[in-house]
Amino acid sequence: METINSISYPIYFNNSLAELANFIKAGNYTKFFILIDEFTGEHCLPIVQKHLGEDAVYDLIEVAAGEENKNIDFCIGIWKMLIDFGADRNSLLINLGGGVITDMGGFAASTYKRGIDFVHVPTTLLSQVDASVGGKTGIDLDSIKNIIGTFTQPKAVFMEHSFISTLPARQVLSGVAEMLKHGLIADADYWNKLKEADFTQPSADLVHRSVEIKNDIVIEDPKEKGVRKALNFGHTIGHAVETWSLDNDKNHLTHGEAIAIGMICEAWLSWKKNGLSEANLNEIVSTFRSLYPAYKISADCHKDLFILMQKDKKNNGNNINCTLLTAIGKCSIDHICTEEELCNSLNYYSSL
Amino acid sequence: METINSISYPIYFNNSLAELANFIKAGNYTKFFILIDEFTGEHCLPIVQKHLGEDAVYDLIEVAAGEENKNIDFCIGIWKMLIDFGADRNSLLINLGGGVITDMGGFAASTYKRGIDFVHVPTTLLSQVDASVGGKTGIDLDSIKNIIGTFTQPKAVFMEHSFISTLPARQVLSGVAEMLKHGLIADADYWNKLKEADFTQPSADLVHRSVEIKNDIVIEDPKEKGVRKALNFGHTIGHAVETWSLDNDKNHLTHGEAIAIGMICEAWLSWKKNGLSEANLNEIVSTFRSLYPAYKISADCHKDLFILMQKDKKNNGNNINCTLLTAIGKCSIDHICTEEELCNSLNYYSSL
Ligand SMILES: NC(=O)c1ccc[n+]([C@@H]2O[C@H](COP(=O)([O-])OP(=O)(O)OC[C@H]3O[C@@H](n4cnc5c(N)ncnc54)[C@H](O)[C@@H]3O)[C@@H](O)[C@H]2O)c1
Ligand SMILES: NC(=O)c1ccc[n+]([C@@H]2O[C@H](COP(=O)([O-])OP(=O)(O)OC[C@H]3O[C@@H](n4cnc5c(N)ncnc54)[C@H](O)[C@@H]3O)[C@@H](O)[C@H]2O)c1
Ligand SMILES: [Zn+2]
Ligand SMILES: [Zn+2]
């Protein structure tokens, strides 16, 4: 499968872990570090170590798994470990994990000594098709998702499809939501292909196509001034639902489950305000409903969700901004939605 | 006095606060915020407010003054205030203060929502001639100076010379140390002019010349890959002494006092290793000795100072890197110094 060239770095698909070993050697780094969580330490690190060889010398930095740990406390922990291990400006950080690890590791590296090199080895489907590509780094603060971060590109991304095989089914489905989004905003054929795919283990070809779609968009608009906002489809409402669930629900939603809800709501808004056909709306809704369990969002929470949307970094001033579909495979950005419209879309979701 | 053009932004000297008011109007920001500490709130804010006019609407963010507060806790405080005040991506942060405010405010702004606009209104001599120019942002962590930060340029810098008049004498002298450094590394004529200057209130012309020297260097090498290291003269040892003093001394050194010590030590190393004449060394030493009180650094602390130098972000691996003079007005970068040489330079300082 072809290597994809992003803004300033390559995304490897073939023999990617061998490529990682080559990259480290060629880079002449004084030291390198691998950032893991307990699950990627168990399932993915041994495979990486095999490729690095027995005499590779590096330090491990481990953080606790989970979105609730993508915060400034763990970030400070990473910075302090880098200090203690003597990481200098010519050091490399390898982020081995899902989106939590790639986002937080990218942020820590981009701010340590005003920026050291980092690469991503994404180990979840979601981080392969989405989080590892595009240069957004970030952590959550005060229950606001990714509110602190930078735009900093990794030096390379290494896609290892076999990592997906140890991923829990629910985490695979979380990534599938972003793949479906790629079809909805940019490629109706790909959407149709996905509908027939094996969602327990999406093929490497499908992953490659998703990365291609995301990469084409971010290359055109790295800092999200315009077209990149297409990727926010489902995320205005989805992020608020995700945050709410993280704060209130012990068994909280995954990122994909939350944006699947967001995509249903925003598809409804697309039908209401943006010319999406009723047939398209129904097709979208039934696809997501067949994949993701219904989630109870009581009307009492609508106000809280609205406040969360106002704090979201996608929104300017008091306006809530959505990306809406015009058809399956096509979208348009910068639609201002009122509190009432957003509530109605949540009511629609609850009525299904 | 001429406006100086930096990497991507102007540095205003004439009617700078009127220029600030124009800049805010022209920028069409949704909101703006002014970051102050208790002293700039008292001495400088009223003057800024007069220029902004009575109907200007903005929020104040106040942090406690002092280097010991240039840390992640206060930075989190700034981020949270921005969240609570509803700062969106199209907001502006105005950093009104010394180097602590411009460094920390620049870092907070460059990472809030992956980067919002900020400008500097430096109110100390040191921040005018040094900290506000060149795009380095940062905070301290674990007693390491500026270990966390970004390279992010402000949108503009506004130099108001009258602010210097309320500055305590010791703070004025702190800035003078950086001005003398500019002469030593780049301009012997300027050094000679400075020696005859009124150090209680250096003229606006001298400030302008210092900014010019610093700006010429950072434009050539924004990310400190090479020539910008010239500005580190006195800072390898100076930063270690400053950190040590912050940690151990209630009435700790100012930045300028610490780097004045660093410059004496590194001038000695320049004489020892880099062809600086003995006459030049003596001239440098007597200039700094006449301006700054002697500071006791017992030989017991040399080991601690050396460990601090190793953690400094200027150093790669285990090598300690210094910028050394060849003559007054000329320097060369990347001199590796051994622990013994560094100790001997500290002994030299103590023997004076
Ligand atoms: N930067 C971006 O552009 C971007 C885009 C989308 C999402 N994100 C972020 O990504 C995060 C979600 O990513 P995620 O879903 O990968 O979360 P995650 O990193 O929390 O991973 C999910 C779980 O899977 C485990 N895991 C990872 N790889 C495994 C493997 N190979 N085998 C077994 N278990 C494994 C992890 O330990 C974790 O428990 C969110 O924080 C979201 O904001 C960022
Ligand atoms: N970014 C860079 O390139 C760069 C360069 C040099 C120094 N620095 C940083 O700058 C910091 C030192 O800067 P500083 O010396 O300005 O420190 P500072 O900001 O602590 O200011 C010194 C003191 O003067 C007070 N003050 C400020 N303006 C005043 C005024 N007009 N009248 C009365 N009091 C006033 C402040 O409240 C403070 O108490 C250090 O943290 C250093 O690392 C950064
Ligand atoms: Zn997403
Ligand atoms: Zn300095």
Q: State whether residue A72 sits within 8 Å of chain B by CB.
A: yes
Is the domain of B77 the same as that of B92?
Answer: yes
Question: Which residue owns the Cα nearest ligand 1 atom 13?
Answer: A99
- The C-alpha atoms of residue B237 and residue A219 are separated, in whole angstroms, by 43
Residue of B nearest to A313 (CA): B113
- Helix (H) / strand (E) element for B141: namely strand B139-141
Residue with tokens 């200090």: A83
| Known catalytic membership, residue A228 | yes
Residue with tokens 């430096």: B122
Taking an 8 Å cut-off on Cβ atoms, the answer to whether A80 and B110 are in contact is no
Is the domain of B201 the same as that of B111?
Answer: no
Residue B10 phi, psi dihedral angles, 5° rounding: -90, 150
Best to test chain B binding among A31, A88, A308 (most B CBs inside 10 Å): A88
Q: Which of B110, B157, B152 is nearest to B10 (CA)?
A: B157
Using the CB atoms, write b or e for A191-210: b if 16+ within 10 Å. Answer: beebeeeebeebebebbbbb
Task: Give the per-residue pLDDT at B316.
Answer: 67
- The C-alpha atoms of residue A156 and residue A118 are separated, in whole angstroms, by 8
Taking an 8 Å cut-off on Cβ atoms, the answer to whether A141 and B79 are in contact is yes
CATH number at residue A76: 3.40.50.1970
Is the domain of B48 the same as that of B123?
Answer: yes
Q: Please report the sign of the dihedral spanned by the C-alpha atoms of residue A272, residue A273, residue A278, residue A281.
A: negative
- The C-alpha atoms of residue B130 and residue B121 are separated, in whole angstroms, by 12
Is the domain of A146 the same as that of A129?
Answer: yes
Residue with tokens 């990218």: A106
Residue ranges for chain B with pLDDT beneath 50: none
Tokens of A8: 């300033």
Residues composing chain A: 352
Is the domain of B74 the same as that of B195?
Answer: no
Using one digit for the tens of pLDDT, what is the confidence trace for A90-136?
Answer: 999 999 999 999 999 999 999 999 999 999 999 999 999 999 999 99
**Count of C-beta atoms within a 10 Å radius of residue A277:** 14
- The C-alpha atoms of residue A142 and residue B74 are separated, in whole angstroms, by 15
CATH number at residue B236: 1.20.1090.10
- Which of B121, B149, B166 is the last residue in one of the domains? B166
Q: Which of B168, B234, B224 is nearest to B200 (CA)?
A: B168
Q: How many domains does chain A have?
A: 2
Q: Which of A220, A191, A328 is nearest to A267 (CA)?
A: A328
Tokens of B152: 């992010």
**Count of C-beta atoms within a 10 Å radius of residue A334:** 12
Is the domain of A83 the same as that of A223?
Answer: no
Angle between helix axes A72-84 and B72-84 (nearest 10 degrees) is 160
Q: Please report the sign of the dihedral spanned by the C-alpha atoms of residue B341, residue B343, residue B349, residue B350.
A: negative
**Residues of B in Cβ contact (< 8 Å) with A151:** 114-115
Question: Which residue owns the Cα nearest ligand 2 atom 21?
Answer: B98
Taking an 8 Å cut-off on Cβ atoms, the answer to whether A313 and B113 are in contact is yes
- The C-alpha atoms of residue B88 and residue B249 are separated, in whole angstroms, by 41
Is the domain of B39 the same as that of B150?
Answer: yes
Active site residues per annotation of B = 114, 136, 178, 214, 224, 228, 232, 235, 239, 255
- Which of A121, A143, A166 is the last residue in one of the domains? A166
- Helix (H) / strand (E) element for A259: namely helix A255-273
Q: Which residues contact A214 (CB under 8 A, 6 or more apart)?
A: A129, A130, A133, A134, A182, A231
Measured in Å, how far apart are chain A's first and last C-alpha atoms? 40
Report CA B215 to chain centroid distance, whole Å: 13
Pocket of ligand 1 (CB under 6 A): A 37, 39-40, 43-44, 65-67, 70, 97-101, 103, 123-124, 126-127, 130-131, 134, 136, 145-146, 163, 166-167, 171, 174, 255
Using one digit for the tens of pLDDT, what is the confidence trace for A316-340?
Answer: 667 799 999 999 999 999 999 999 9
Task: Give the per-residue pLDDT at B25.
Answer: 95
Taking an 8 Å cut-off on Cβ atoms, the answer to whether A138 and B89 are in contact is no
Which phi-psi region, left, alpha or beta, contains residue B334 (left: φ > 0; alpha: ψ -120 to 50)?
A: left
pTM: predicted TM-score of the whole model, two decimal places: 0.95
Burial degree of B30 (CB within 10 A; 0-12, 13-18, 19+): middle
Tokens of A184: 């909805």
Q: Which of B202, B329, B332, B345 is nearest to B269 (CA)?
A: B345
Using one digit for the tens of pLDDT, what is the confidence trace for A30-43?
Answer: 999 999 999 999 99
Residue % of chain B over a pLDDT of 90: 91
Is the domain of B51 the same as that of B196?
Answer: no
Is the domain of B19 the same as that of B124?
Answer: yes
Task: Give the per-residue pLDDT at A299.
Answer: 87
- Which of B147, B166, B185 is the last residue in one of the domains? B166
**Count of C-beta atoms within a 10 Å radius of residue A150:** 20
Report CA A84 to chain centroid distance, whole Å: 30
Is the domain of B118 the same as that of B204?
Answer: no
A204: containing domain:
170-351
What are the start-end ranges of the E strands in chain A? Answer: 4-5, 10-12, 32-37, 59-63, 92-97, 117-122, 139-141, 144-148, 157-158, 320-327, 330-337
Which phi-psi region, left, alpha or beta, contains residue A151 (left: φ > 0; alpha: ψ -120 to 50)?
A: beta
Is the domain of B195 the same as that of B104?
Answer: no
Tokens of B79: 């981020």
Show which of residues 203-262 on chain B sit within 8 Å of chain A, judged by CB atoms: none
Report CA A89 to chain centroid distance, whole Å: 27
What's the rounded mean pLDDT across residues A83-92?
Answer: 94
- The C-alpha atoms of residue A123 and residue A44 are separated, in whole angstroms, by 7
What's the rounded mean pLDDT across residues A337-351?
Answer: 95
Q: Are B127 and B157 in contact (CB under 8 A)?
A: no
Is the domain of B261 the same as that of B239?
Answer: yes
Using one digit for the tens of pLDDT, what is the confidence trace for A248-275?
Answer: 999 999 999 999 999 999 999 999 999 9
- Helix (H) / strand (E) element for B334: namely strand B330-337
Give the SS3 label for residue B312.
coil
- The C-alpha atoms of residue B309 and residue B339 are separated, in whole angstroms, by 10
Task: Give the per-residue pLDDT at B49.
Answer: 97
Q: Which of B265, B257, B250, B272 is nearest to B326 (CA)?
A: B272
Q: Are A143 and A247 in contact (CB under 8 A)?
A: yes
Distance A252 CA to ligand 1 centre (A): 14
Name which residue leads in pLDDT, A310 or B21. B21
- Helix (H) / strand (E) element for A134: namely none
Using one digit for the tens of pLDDT, what is the confidence trace for A172-229?
Answer: 999 999 999 999 999 999 999 999 999 999 999 999 999 999 999 999 999 999 999 9
Q: Are A326 and A332 in contact (CB under 8 A)?
A: yes
